[in-house]
Chain A
């Protein structure tokens, strides 16, 4: 059913349709509307057999989900930014224990300085935690990815993080097709855990593993991520068949076949980029776009295939590995022929808008070869140069 709804509401409604059994909620901007929506849906009786628990921290939120999942319940939580970091220990733990928890991450910058607006630094901080990380381009996909996430998680016994850009998606009102309960039920079978706390068959879950077997455990974690390629693609295909629309998968492409310049990005910025590509194409530029949906596992093979004929690659990312540069661009570079130049474009940090014009200007200037490997979109040079000069001066005084 098509609805004009806020992204958070769409996510809440879809998660409710997935029949979570335990929902743990701790508020943080910009995730709040999701858990508020779920709270209301649970209280109104729209979710059968669901326990909605208000916890005291994000650490507790994911921990409650861990307990519920280990005991065989479908568990869900949502967070953002600092919240994700506060639950970091549990994030790794949930994956290590192979618990198919689904968590929405309303992407937001990490402080200090404190900032409630969107970027991807929170998701990037947990990229090696063992979770599958899916990024939504728009509210429809944000909703759809949750339906897929439960199926992927439970098929793999691996937690899935659905990344939804804070405010840009979570608070944007758009038209979303919210499926029916029957449709979702048909797509997401009941949760059958591979191992569970069971009074009839006592097992010890989460035991200590020493040097004798720890490498094997990690190797198997890696194999599980590799297996996820197929699972993510299959689920995406199955979704299209069932719901009649594209969502998920490893990557999606836009005008890449003949493109000399290809932009790689993920999340809500894809919409803007598509508009820009359209414009450039009209101007006759051979430019294309790759949208990464699954950051974990990273679609190295797809990236390599798609980018092999490109002359220039721009990786636009909403996070920065200070002292190194781009996180995603490093991943891309490892996936492709080293001869193809890759430019990292850091954009949208802490909610800085990414205007189409800035992007367009950047692509233009880049083609003139005026940029280095790392570029910060719309950086206020006056401010940074003043600060850097002041710093040099302070240093000169021996401070």
Chain B
């Protein structure tokens, strides 16, 4: 979802623009952004999660007019941001366990409600491990109760904090420490994994969206939209991990973009269980463009028949997404 702006070119997809009114720009372009996650944290160079978290929480802070409490699941984000005696968080923040962030957030939201501070909003966040695996029970509970929490999953597609082990968000063929690619054998297998955004939609919660680091404006617009609802909301953000995916750190945003453009990571929004919008792909590319720069997918590029077949299967997944969400842009929606 692009912010509709009358402003014409000179990089109108950039984060800011000196000619644009502050109100038309992103939160990230503002000198007054809250920098919810500030300097000195210990995330790796080029960490997608660190970047995604600041974008999301800053945008949520703005939407909540500074009245925001953050609940964090165990994981990279929690570990690199708060090694005693330092914290990189400049917002009220609580961490309890790996699998209970949604429930803790429910409790925080309940506390605000009973104390008559309903204007204080709650954001819970975690990685794909805590969201799709260990915390899924709590998340599902939070969803079905429609608790007033925005839950954000920063999906880097494996347990990165513990050393890159497979999660239910790990894509097929990806090599991880627990699904290693050996010789010509691929890593993770086909036909596994779960699609959390679709599962969230099945709970009929008011708002579900996917976002990536490819487009700040789109991501922030979704956070803003999410914050305009009360009840349970879910935002699934793809955050590349240089270490776990095996690529050079300055590729974090490019890979986020390629993931979207090749169709493997569709960007869409859903309200009350129905898809309401999908971001059209205007610069389509084969999955190869996205997969090849990542070492975890090296098994797809062995040049033999088997790896070619696997690559074709990956393309088929992307094609299925493109069909399912009607992602291919035409002249009209790709001006």
Q: What residues make up the interface of A, taking CB atoms closer than 8 Å to B?
A: 21-22, 24, 49-51, 53-57, 59-61, 63-73, 75, 89-90, 93, 97, 197-199, 201-210, 212-213
Pull 15 A–B residue pairs with CB atoms less than 8 Å apart, ordered by A: A22-B111, A51-B110, A51-B114, A55-B141, A66-B96, A67-B94, A67-B104, A67-B106, A71-B115, A90-B96, A197-B108, A203-B93, A204-B93, A206-B95, A212-B84
Q: Find the B residue at minimum CB distance from A200.
A: B92
Interface contacts beyond A66-B100, A67-B107, A210-B84: sample of 14 additional A-B pairs, CB < 8 Å, sorted by A: A53-B110, A57-B141, A63-B104, A64-B104, A68-B107, A69-B111, A70-B96, A71-B107, A71-B108, A72-B111, A75-B111, A89-B97, A197-B92, A205-B95
Are A63 and B84 in contact (CB-based, < 8 A)?
Answer: no
Q: Find the B residue at minimum CB distance from A53.
A: B110
Are A197 and B100 in contact (CB-based, < 8 A)?
Answer: no
Q: Using Cβ atoms and an 8 Å threshold, which residues of chain A touch B93?
A: 197, 202-205
Instruction: Report if A202-B99 is in contact (Cβ < 8 Å); known contacts: A64-B107, A65-B107.
Output: no
Q: Using Cβ atoms and an 8 Å threshold, which residues of chain A touch B85?
A: 213
Q: Using Cβ atoms and an 8 Å threshold, which residues of chain A touch B78?
A: 208
Which residue from B66, B83, B105, B144 sits with its C-beta under 8 Å from A208?
B83
Complex-state Cα separation, A378 to B255, whole angstroms: 70
Complex-state Cα separation, A201 to B79, whole angstroms: 22
Q: Find the B residue at minimum CB distance from A199.
A: B67
Q: Find the B residue at minimum CB distance from A206.
A: B95
Q: Using Cβ atoms and an 8 Å threshold, which residues of chain B touch A209?
A: 84
Instruction: Report if A202-B92 is in contact (Cβ < 8 Å); known contacts: A51-B113, A66-B107, A71-B112.
Output: yes
Q: Using Cβ atoms and an 8 Å threshold, which residues of chain A touch B104?
A: 63-64, 66-67, 70
B302–chain A nearest beta-carbon distance, Å: 40
Are A202 and B89 in contact (CB-based, < 8 A)?
Answer: yes
Are B99 and A59 in contact (CB-based, < 8 A)?
Answer: yes
Are B69 and A71 in contact (CB-based, < 8 A)?
Answer: yes
Are B111 and A59 in contact (CB-based, < 8 A)?
Answer: no
Complex-state Cα separation, A272 to B120, whole angstroms: 53
Instruction: Report if A56-B97 is in contact (Cβ < 8 Å); known contacts: A63-B107, A64-B106, A67-B108.
Output: no
Are B138 and A60 in contact (CB-based, < 8 A)?
Answer: yes
Quick one: CB contact mask for B61-105 with A, threshold 8 Å, 1 for yes? 000001111010000001100111101011111111101100111
Asked if B137 is at the interface (CB within 8 A of a chain A CB), the reply is yes
B82–chain A nearest beta-carbon distance, Å: 4
Complex-state Cα separation, A49 to B118, whole angstroms: 13
Instruction: Report if A56-B138 is in contact (Cβ < 8 Å); known contacts: A21-B115, A70-B94.
Output: yes
Asked if B145 is at the interface (CB within 8 A of a chain A CB), the reply is yes
Are B66 and A72 in contact (CB-based, < 8 A)?
Answer: no
Q: Using Cβ atoms and an 8 Å threshold, which residues of chain B touch A69?
A: 107, 111
B139–chain A nearest beta-carbon distance, Å: 10
B297–chain A nearest beta-carbon distance, Å: 32
Asked if B294 is at the interface (CB within 8 A of a chain A CB), the reply is no
Among the interface residues A50, A73, A202, which one has the most CB atoms of the partner chain B within 10 A? A202
Q: Using Cβ atoms and an 8 Å threshold, which residues of chain B touch A205?
A: 93-95
B233–chain A nearest beta-carbon distance, Å: 17
Are A207 and B95 in contact (CB-based, < 8 A)?
Answer: yes
Complex-state Cα separation, A64 to B17, whole angstroms: 43
Are A59 and B137 in contact (CB-based, < 8 A)?
Answer: yes
Q: Using Cβ atoms and an 8 Å threshold, which residues of chain A touch B108?
A: 67-68, 70-71, 197
Are A71 and B89 in contact (CB-based, < 8 A)?
Answer: no
Q: Using Cβ atoms and an 8 Å threshold, which residues of chain A touch B120?
A: 199
Q: Using Cβ atoms and an 8 Å threshold, which residues of chain B touch A63?
A: 96-97, 100, 103-104, 106-107, 138
Complex-state Cα separation, A104 to B90, whole angstroms: 36
Q: Using Cβ atoms and an 8 Å threshold, which residues of chain A touch B92?
A: 197-199, 201-203
Counting chain B residues whose Cβ lies within 8 A of the other chain, the interface size class is 35 or more
Q: Find the B residue at minimum CB distance from A96.
A: B96
Complex-state Cα separation, A212 to B138, whole angstroms: 33
For chain B, residues 130 to 154, give those with C-beta under 8 angstroms from any C-beta of chain A.
137-138, 140-141, 144-145
Complex-state Cα separation, A75 to B111, whole angstroms: 9
A63–chain B nearest beta-carbon distance, Å: 3
A356–chain B nearest beta-carbon distance, Å: 45
A303–chain B nearest beta-carbon distance, Å: 35
Which residue from B66, B83, B105, B114 sits with its C-beta under 8 Å from A50?
B114
Complex-state Cα separation, A51 to B108, whole angstroms: 11
Q: Using Cβ atoms and an 8 Å threshold, which residues of chain B touch A66?
A: 96, 100, 103-104, 107
Quick one: CB contact mask for B115-130 with A, threshold 8 Å, 1 for yes? 1100010000000000
Complex-state Cα separation, A93 to B100, whole angstroms: 11
Q: Using Cβ atoms and an 8 Å threshold, which residues of chain A touch B83?
A: 207-208, 210
Which residue from B82, B89, B94, B110 sits with its C-beta under 8 Å from A22?
B110
A340–chain B nearest beta-carbon distance, Å: 43
Q: Using Cβ atoms and an 8 Å threshold, which residues of chain A touch B112?
A: 71
Among the interface residues B82, B99, B114, which one has the most CB atoms of the partner chain A within 10 A? B114
Complex-state Cα separation, A213 to B84, whole angstroms: 8
Complex-state Cα separation, A303 to B279, whole angstroms: 71
Among the interface residues A24, A51, A69, A201, which one has the most CB atoms of the partner chain B within 10 A? A51
Are B138 and A67 in contact (CB-based, < 8 A)?
Answer: no
Are A60 and B137 in contact (CB-based, < 8 A)?
Answer: yes
Which residue from A53, A59, A71, A203 sits with its C-beta under 8 Å from B145?
A53
Complex-state Cα separation, A255 to B126, whole angstroms: 57
Q: Using Cβ atoms and an 8 Å threshold, which residues of chain B touch A97?
A: 96
Complex-state Cα separation, A199 to B245, whole angstroms: 36
Complex-state Cα separation, A198 to B97, whole angstroms: 20
Q: Find the A residue at minimum CB distance from B82.
A: A207
Are A64 and B103 in contact (CB-based, < 8 A)?
Answer: yes
Q: Using Cβ atoms and an 8 Å threshold, which residues of chain B touch A24?
A: 107
Which residue from A56, A67, A75, A204 sits with its C-beta under 8 Å from B89?
A204
Q: Using Cβ atoms and an 8 Å threshold, which residues of chain B touch A208?
A: 78-79, 82-84
Complex-state Cα separation, A22 to B108, whole angstroms: 10
Are A73 and B114 in contact (CB-based, < 8 A)?
Answer: yes
Q: Which 7 A-B pairs have the closest CB atoms?
A: A67-B107, A63-B103, A56-B141, A73-B111, A71-B111, A63-B100, A67-B104
Which residue from B69, B97, B137 sits with its C-beta under 8 Å from A93?
B97
Complex-state Cα separation, A212 to B85, whole angstroms: 10
Among the interface residues B91, B95, B109, B141, which one has the most CB atoms of the partner chain A within 10 A? B141
Among the interface residues A61, A66, A71, A73, which one has the most CB atoms of the partner chain B within 10 A? A71
Complex-state Cα separation, A383 to B78, whole angstroms: 54
Q: Find the A residue at minimum CB distance from B124.
A: A67
Q: Using Cβ atoms and an 8 Å threshold, which residues of chain B touch A72?
A: 111, 115
Which residue from B100, B113, B145 sits with its C-beta under 8 Å from A90?
B100
Complex-state Cα separation, A201 to B91, whole angstroms: 9
A378–chain B nearest beta-carbon distance, Å: 41
Which residue from B67, B90, B107, B140 sits with its C-beta under 8 Å from A75?
B107
Q: Using Cβ atoms and an 8 Å threshold, which residues of chain B touch A202?
A: 89-93
